[in-house]
Amino acid sequence: MRILFYCILFIISFRLYFNQDIVAQLVVDPLVTPDEMVDNLAGVNINYYNINYEGSDSANAIFCSNGYNDIELKEGICLSSGRIKYAGGPNSFNENLSYVNGTFGDFLLSGLLQQSITWDAAILEFDILTTKSLLSLSFFFASEEYPEWADVNKDIIGVFLTGANPIGSYFSSTNIATIPDTSLPICVININNVIPSFPEYYIDNSSGQYFAYDGLTTVFSPFIYVYPDSVYHIRIGIADENDSYYDSGFFLEKGSLLSIDSTDFTRYRFKVVNNQNLEQDIIGTIENDSIKLCVPNATDISQLVSSFTIPPGTNAYVGNVLQKSDTTISDFTEPVIYTLVAGNGNSKDWTVVVDYLPNNENEILEYEFLVENNPNLSEDLIGEFIGQVILFYAPVGTNLIELIATYTLSDNATAYVNGVYQQSSITPNNFYNTVHYDIIAENGDTNFYHVNVLIASGENDYNKKSNILIYPNPAKDYVFVQNANGSDFKLYNHTGKLVQTFIISSQNKQIPVNHLPSGVYYLHIDYLNKVFLRKIIIK
């Protein structure tokens, strides 16, 4: 629940101050327990217990990002050889991310480096009970050692497995976090573009916006065969090598520790890089034998390229057509049936369904009073939008009791006035007072508009009867608002942009306007559940 809260808070604010440190576009929550980290990491068919953490309390966390980021792994847990709260970007290539935790290294990580000395290790370990024949995990490595020290440094990560090996012998702290098709551990000197060493797995992050490290790896998703219904011990760790300076990070995807069969998907998504009509990656929800994805309203789903991960030796088909991740184009206007065929001949059908997200748009796009619907009008009246206020000037003598508005809303949005459903060009309302509209989007998000019809003199009945005084007009340095104590004051410029707002705290309030450019402005006061509008000119 905590990480969901911070993700929502991030989307609202775009820049979060967390523990007094700025975390731009990546939310890092270090206030978590080892149990919470394992619960975040564990996916389907994983039972876990005997959890233990070794290292600095400031070196572990849960993280999330706002949708698309520099790498396709969006949320999960992270371990660091420094302080993990500094992991959020943007990265500055000239600033070194370095913190000495003053903790010991790890003997298993040191062993992968021919007994090099390691420091500031962060280790998370636990037991699991498997249910199926394969284990999978998705993660990436990041380091501030890149690129200056890539040819000598060995900051390292490891995922060690202990338990029965179904193809013989025994897993005894066997590292499964290796470079694909090798037994080499994942560390700075083994993956970089300096030597170069396996540069295809390296990402230059010198100008990255989401992570503070100078270099990252691509996402790795190793698979390993295990016995079903068996107990295994997992030890996940990171450490500095040789010295404690320049931090590295180990990021593991939420829910990616999976116990699966050879005919299962482990990841399925639509990436922006392969689908130009998307604004962010769309991640599929995998459950039983189906995968569900939701795309923004009106997205063209007839030609989408999917990105997926399946066990080695397994192929994916739609009909008789072999599917290639990041390559094959498919039409998802109807559910697509995939068949996964494993190397041993086992197969399983999967149904991929793509739905549209409910539209969240809730705006009035156009609003007017037409003579054809209002015979008492001598001409059509076109509204002037001032933020959430729509302002009209009607001829002197116009009957405002039963005016019928014609308007256009966002797609699939609906309009209500005092709980009464509104129909454009049909529903009449009394516009002698402000009419308040609730505009409700398809997904339930609600927006509010206030329609004021003023007689041509610039005063409606409420403005005439109220004791509110606004002076001088035109104004130069100050505007005085009298008899509106306790009301909400808003000032909009001629484009409808809100430029000033506060609560009027006295009967004769002096409001400075000398900082505003000369021009026409609209003053909006909410007072005693009514709206007072006045056009003013600032010289």
The model's pLDDT over 251-261, given as tens digits with 9 standing for 90+, comes to: 999 999 999 99
State residue 17's pLDDT score: 34
Q: Which residue has the higher pLDDT, 305 or 502?
A: 305
Residue 203 has pLDDT above 70, yes or no: yes
pLDDT at 243: 80
DSSP string for residues in 460-471: -HHHHHS--EEE
Q: How many Cβ atoms from other residues are within 10 Å of residue 457's Cβ?
A: 10
Residue 404's contacts (CB-CB under 8 Å, 6 or more residues apart) are 369, 373, 374, 425, 426, 427, 428, 429
Write the pLDDT tens digit of every residue in 497-535: 778 888 888 888 888 888 889 888 888 787 776 667 777
* CATH number for the domain running over 364-538: 2.60.40.2340
Q: How confident is the model at residue 122 (pLDDT cuts 50, 70, 90)?
A: very high
The answer to whether 435 and 407 are in contact (CB under 8 A) is no
Helix (H) or strand (E) holding 4: helix 2-13
Residue closest to 69 by CA, chosen among 216, 245, 287: 216
265-276 per-position pLDDT tens digit: 999 999 999 999
Question: Which of 7-11, 85-89, 234-238, 524-528 has the lowest average pLDDT?
Answer: 7-11
The predicted pLDDT at position 496 comes to 62
Which of 81, 142, 83 is CA-nearest to residue 117? 81
Q: What is the mean pLDDT of residues 90-114?
A: 84
Mean pLDDT of 216-245: 94
Does residue 419 carry a pLDDT above 70?
yes
DSSP 8-state assignment for residue 379: S
Q: Which two tokens stand for residue 227?
A: 């016995």
- Strongest mean pLDDT among 89-93, 206-210, 383-387, 422-426: 422-426
Query: Considering only CA atoms, which of 503, 510, 506, 507 is closest in space to residue 525?
Result: 503
Q: What percent of the chain has pLDDT over 90?
A: 60
CATH of region 267-356: 2.60.40.2340
Q: Is the peptide bond before 34 cis (omega within 30 degrees of 0)?
A: no
Pair of tokens at residue 172: 């005894």
Indicate the average pLDDT of the chain: 87
* Predicted local distance difference test score (pLDDT) of residue 25: 61
- Provide the 10 A C-beta neighbour count for residue 285: 11
- Name the pTM for this structure: 0.68
3-state SS of 147-209 is CCCCCCCCCEEEEEEEEECCCCCEEEEEECCECCCCCCECECCCCECCCCECHHHEEECCCCC
Phi, psi for residue 109 in degrees, rounded to 5:
-65, -40
Amino acid at 285: T
pLDDT of residue 3: 39
DSSP state for residue 256 in the 8-state scheme: -
Cα of 236 vs its chain's centroid, Å: 27
pLDDT digits (tens, 9 = 90+) for 425-440: 999 999 988 899 999 9
Closest-CA residue to 228 (of 129, 132, 164, 311): 132
Alpha-carbon distance values, 513 to 305, 474, 485, 495, 500 (Å): 54, 11, 19, 17, 9
In this structure, the number of other CB atoms found within 10 A of the CB of residue 257 comes to 27
The owner of tokens 């006061």 is 525
